[in-house]
């Protein structure tokens, strides 16, 4: 089976399934994660590029936030890959990655078992950082009807936990930076991922400085 052809067909399948939905989990997310995962894989020794490509393209094929069944994506991906004649070992590995890389469940999940899973997880997390990550966060906030920001600053409190408690009813998109986006830099699995994350992190910090300055009319 021609691997390049399978990757192309997988990209087409994902494009057709995900389309351009507006909350940041569209086909373009899959495509960006694919590009970034390939870049990371090239910087890391010994990664199976075929598995990385298939898993990055398919990783959000049915996101659990938007479907009730959290195994749906895995099943859809497996069925599709089998139909393309992909070997069982590759199908099982891709399925493992899809099932294990999501951020939300990460606290209870054991460390990822394969280099390919680590690469795809890094690429997925990187898409929540930097300029794209900021765009996705505000798109998601808009979808949920959230306010952009509440001018009470985390730094007005002793800790972010205190700030959160005091502002519990006001989940803003800026809050999401402190809850997730600014923590991602410390969660990278690969050296190449860490380098890209460092850049994107600095960009988000600069963005927040500018955001607060504009909010207060200082700039």
Residues lying near ligand ADP in the complex (CB under 6 A) are found at: 24-25, 65, 102-104, 124, 128, 133, 136-137, 140-141, 173, 176, 180
Residues 118-157 that bind Ni ion (CB under 5 A): 124
CA 195, CA 111: separation in Å to the nearest integer? 21
CA 191, CA 45: separation in Å to the nearest integer? 11
Size of site (CB under 5 A) for Ni ion: 2
Q: Which is nearer to ligand ADP, 131 or 198 (CB)?
A: 131
Buried residues in 24-55 as b, exposed as e (16+ CB within 10 A): bbbbbbbbbbbebbbbbbeebeebbebbbbbb
Binding at 133: pick from ligand ADP, Ni ion, none (beta carbon under 5-8 Å per type): ligand ADP
Name the residue among 116, 81, 57 with its Cα closest to residue 6. Answer: 81
- Which residues are within 8 A (CB) of 205 and not within 5 positions of it... i.e. 6 or more apart? 182
Q: Closest distance between Ni ion and the C-beta of residue 33, in Å?
A: 6
Binding at 173: pick from ligand ADP, Ni ion, none (beta carbon under 5-8 Å per type): ligand ADP
Q: Closest distance between ligand ADP and the C-beta of residue 89, in Å?
A: 25
**Interface residues with Ni ion (CB under 5 A)?**
60, 124
């Amino acid at each position: 089976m021609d691997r390049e052809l399978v990757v192309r067909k997988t990209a087409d399948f994902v494009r057709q399934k995900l389309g351009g939905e507006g909350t940041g989990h569209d086909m373009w997310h899959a495509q960006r994660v694919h590009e970034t995962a390939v870049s990371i894989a090239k910087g890391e020794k010994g990664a199976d590029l075929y598995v990385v490509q298939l898993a990055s393209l398919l990783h959000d094929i049915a996101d659990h936030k938007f479907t009730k069944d959290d195994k749906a994506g895995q099943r859809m991906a497996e069925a599709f890959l089998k139909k393309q004649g992909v070997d069982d070992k590759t199908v099982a590995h891709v399925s493992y990655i899809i099932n294990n890389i999501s951020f939300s469940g990460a606290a209870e999940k054991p460390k990822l078992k394969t280099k390919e899973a680590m690469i795809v997880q890094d690429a997925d997390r990187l898409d929540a950082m930097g300029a794209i990550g900021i765009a996705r966060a505000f798109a998601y906030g808009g979808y949920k009807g959230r306010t952009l920001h509440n001018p009470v600053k985390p730094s007005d409190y002793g800790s972010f936990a205190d700030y959160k408690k005091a502002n519990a009813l006001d989940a803003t998109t800026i809050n999401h930076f402190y809850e997730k986006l600014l923590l991602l830099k410390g969660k990278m699995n690969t050296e190449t991922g860490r380098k890209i994350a460092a850049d994107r992190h600095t960009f988000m910090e600069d963005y927040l400085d500018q955001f607060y300055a504009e909010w207060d009319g200082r700039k």
